[in-house]
Structure 1
Amino acid sequence: MKRVISFLVILLFAALAAGYFIIPGDTTIVTGIDIKAPMGRTGDFIGGQQLWSKWWPLPITGNNATYNGNMFRVTGREGNIIETEIIHKDLGTLGGRILMAGPLVDSTGLEWSVNASLGSGPLARVKNYFAAKKLKKDMAAVLLALKKFAEKQENIYGMIIEKTRVTDTVLVATRNDYDHYPNTDDIYKMVDKLKAYIKSENAAETNAPMLNIQRADSSHFEAMVAIPTNRLLNGKGDIEQKRMVPGNIIWGQVKGGQATVEYALQQLENYKYDNRLTSPAIPFALLVTDRRAEPDTSKWITRVYYPIF
């Protein structure tokens, strides 16, 4: 029995010694993933740690993102490189970086590399080797959670964005300048003016009113309201004839007040930029809900549109 025990002890020490010489003292843990989402938006959700709660695989308290007992955080970003830090329960504080590459407009490749010291003693080195292997799996799980989140368009842009063809090609429109952000009464005075003109011409509306608001300067705004009609009208006074090219247009639908609509319009702008599209005309909001009849802004349904090439 003593010989057996002695043999096993010798075998254990031999294994540790072999591991010590085979396993390097320093290693780089590397994992990666491909995500079908634009690099700019994907980078925002990685580089902006305040957004991690939206996709991190576990609940986050404050800015403490943990996984399997280890803490993860972003320490900086420069272009397509995001610097990271992992505070590991066995391996200590580990610096690393996530490299982003976007070979296609709608996809992002991520490579996450972390530098780790496995120690100088044989026992510590073997133990830390297996800890590093486990950390690589944890890093892969974190990237997979990001992939599942980012590949849903509504998570990236706050809505589903679709492409269709312009059908409302003839319109009448009117503009007005304001020393404040145009409110519901301001907008619907313009709507009522257009409706009255369309009726006076024995024409018909073919869709809901369209709205575009532009900031002229720090305290002035210009609002334009248009209504599509069933035939071309000449216009009258400050009511003008408008045409839209029957080309492509991107659109999405949101529910909420004007701040929600403005955010959605910005997301259309981001989508256009991400997909390298150009536009022949300004974006606009289609007022599906009559805002005067519905005082609860959380119930307002609005479609946002952006003509594109």
Structure 2
Amino acid sequence: MKKGIIVVSVLLLVLVLLLQFVWTAPKNVTTQASFKVSAAAANRLLGDTAIWQKIQTTTATPNAVDMKPVMAGMGQVVLRVKHEALDTLSQILLVELGKDSVILNWETPLPASNWFWQHWQQRNHAATLQAAQQHLATQLKAYLENTQQAYGFNIVKGQMTDSIVVTKSFETASRPDLPMIYAQLAELEKFASANGAGFTNPPMLFVQTDGQSYRTQVALPVNKWLPEHPVYKTKRMVLGNNLTAEVTGGQQQIRACFAAMYQHVADYNRIMPGIPYEMLLNNRLSTDSSKWQTRVYFPIME
């Protein structure tokens, strides 16, 4: 009799444990992380398949979980997740905390299961996906918060330091070549030196086109206000905030830097109170274009 009671009790205990195992099987996998980037930047970059591929290639995702974005926009990213026999969709929701901060809420639902073995697999999938999501969230944070990675250039926020510049503008039918640009800078330097001015930074350059002609402005930062002149204009710069990035290389690299910085301005919804420009850190006339050193400036308002 006692033996029968013990057997029944053990069977009931096993049954209870099995039921608890089934009832408590995970239904989804969730991960949360905070990023110091704008919601627009996070949404755009997280929807880029190349970024996910790069991160998963350079930093192996635990247990070979494969994740690829299939849709991005309106503050959410949908991923296709594959691991062994599991093939499901995962969703990332971005919650904007401010101009440059977001919370990432990442949830992957697990398929319903009816059998003990399926529940066991579900638990294994949940543990694997949890580790993978946490790993990838950490890698994505490092990637997105690094402007060199996210934009291709080290974009730095700072303050304008040049308060006075002497400038000259001219218009041409085609893009001005280097001899023409440096000839205009030589005129400015001669005018400034003749009036006792010193130079506080390398030359500045801005070229824009309307598709018909090119309008170019060259400038030299100086340490004093210069007399009025019909051709050379002395201007006072607004000492506000700016974004800067340094570039090594010719026009292709410089154009890529401008494009990246315009994207950064758009991602963070910044206002530009002035024109962007190049600062020529070395002499382009005596240097191969692959060795040009340029600092690109974008004036911004917070």
TM-score tier after normalising by the smaller chain length = 0.7 to 0.9
List per-residue Cα deviations over 1:198-221 (Å, max 9, x = no partner): 23444333321111122313x533
CA contact (8 A) 2:243 2:297 kept: yes
Q: Does 1:72 align with 2:67?
A: yes
CA contact (8 A) 1:170 1:242 kept: yes
Q: Does 1:88 align with 2:87?
A: no
Aligned to 2:299, which of 288, 294, 307? 307
Counterparts of 2:220 and 2:44, CA distance in 1: 37
Once the two structures are TM-superposed, the CA of residue 75 in structure 1 deviates from its matched residue by 0.6
Residue of structure 1 equivalent to 2:3: none
Residue of structure 2 equivalent to 1:169: 163
Residue of structure 1 equivalent to 2:248: 255
CA contact (8 A) 1:205 1:228 kept: yes
Once the two structures are TM-superposed, the CA of residue 275 in structure 1 deviates from its matched residue by 4.5
Identity %: 24
CA contact (8 A) 1:20 1:121 kept: no
CA contact (8 A) 1:106 1:274 kept: no
Kindly tell me: are residues 200 and 73 of structure 1, through their superposed partners in 2, closer, same or farther at Cα, counting changes over 3 Å? same
What is the one-letter code of the residue matched to 1:171? V
Kindly tell me: are residues 177 and 50 of structure 1, through their superposed partners in 2, closer, same or farther at Cα, counting changes over 3 Å? farther
Secondary structure at 1:68's aligned position in 2?
A: helix
Residue of structure 2 equivalent to 1:58: 57
CA contact (8 A) 1:23 1:125 kept: no
Counterparts of 1:188 and 1:200, CA distance in 2: 18
CA contact (8 A) 2:44 2:72 kept: no
Q: Does 1:104 align with 2:98?
A: yes
Once the two structures are TM-superposed, the CA of residue 34 in structure 1 deviates from its matched residue by 0.7
Q: Does 1:119 align with 2:113?
A: yes
Once the two structures are TM-superposed, the CA of residue 300 in structure 1 deviates from its matched residue by 1.9
Kindly tell me: are residues 122 and 53 of structure 1, through their superposed partners in 2, closer, same or farther at Cα, counting changes over 3 Å? closer
What is the one-letter code of the residue matched to 1:107? S
Once the two structures are TM-superposed, the CA of residue 307 in structure 1 deviates from its matched residue by 2.7
Segments of 5+ residues of structure 2 without an aligned counterpart are: 1-6
List per-residue Cα deviations over 1:255-296 (Å, max 9, x = no partner): 222333333334444444444543321121111111112114
Question: Structure 1 residues 12-21 or 281-290, which shifts more?
Answer: 12-21
Once the two structures are TM-superposed, the CA of residue 160 in structure 1 deviates from its matched residue by 4.0
Q: State the number of aligned residues.
A: 294
Kindly tell me: are residues 57 and 159 of structure 1, through their superposed partners in 2, closer, same or farther at Cα, counting changes over 3 Å? same
CA contact (8 A) 1:172 1:227 kept: yes
Once the two structures are TM-superposed, the CA of residue 82 in structure 1 deviates from its matched residue by 1.0
Kindly tell me: are residues 71 and 249 of structure 1, through their superposed partners in 2, closer, same or farther at Cα, counting changes over 3 Å? closer
What is the one-letter code of the residue matched to 1:162? K
C-alpha RMSD over aligned residues: 3.0
CA contact (8 A) 1:254 1:303 kept: yes
List per-residue Cα deviations over 1:231-264 (Å, max 9, x = no partner): 2224544332322123333333232223333333
Segments of 5+ residues of structure 1 without an aligned counterpart are: 1-5
What is the one-letter code of the residue matched to 1:303? R
List per-residue Cα deviations over 1:166-203 (Å, max 9, x = no partner): 33222221223344444433422322232233234443
TM-score of the aligned structures, taking structure 2 as reference length: 0.83
Counterparts of 1:69 and 1:13, CA distance in 2: 34
Once the two structures are TM-superposed, the CA of residue 59 in structure 1 deviates from its matched residue by 3.2
Secondary structure at 1:31's aligned position in 2?
A: strand
Secondary structure at 2:148's aligned position in 1?
A: helix
Counterparts of 1:44 and 1:66, CA distance in 2: 22
Q: Does 1:141 align with 2:135?
A: yes
Once the two structures are TM-superposed, the CA of residue 145 in structure 1 deviates from its matched residue by 0.8
TM-score of the aligned structures, taking structure 1 as reference length: 0.82
List per-residue Cα deviations over 1:87-109 (Å, max 9, x = no partner): 2213x210121111221222121
What is the one-letter code of the residue matched to 2:127? K
Kindly tell me: are residues 32 and 230 of structure 1, through their superposed partners in 2, closer, same or farther at Cα, counting changes over 3 Å? same
Aligned to 1:224, which of 203, 217, 238? 217
CA contact (8 A) 1:19 1:122 kept: no
CA contact (8 A) 2:276 2:298 kept: yes
What is the one-letter code of the residue matched to 1:152? N
Counterparts of 1:21 and 1:220, CA distance in 2: 73
Question: Structure 1 residues 242-251 or 288-297, which shifts more?
Answer: 242-251
What is the one-letter code of the residue matched to 2:243? I
Q: Does 1:185 align with 2:167?
A: no
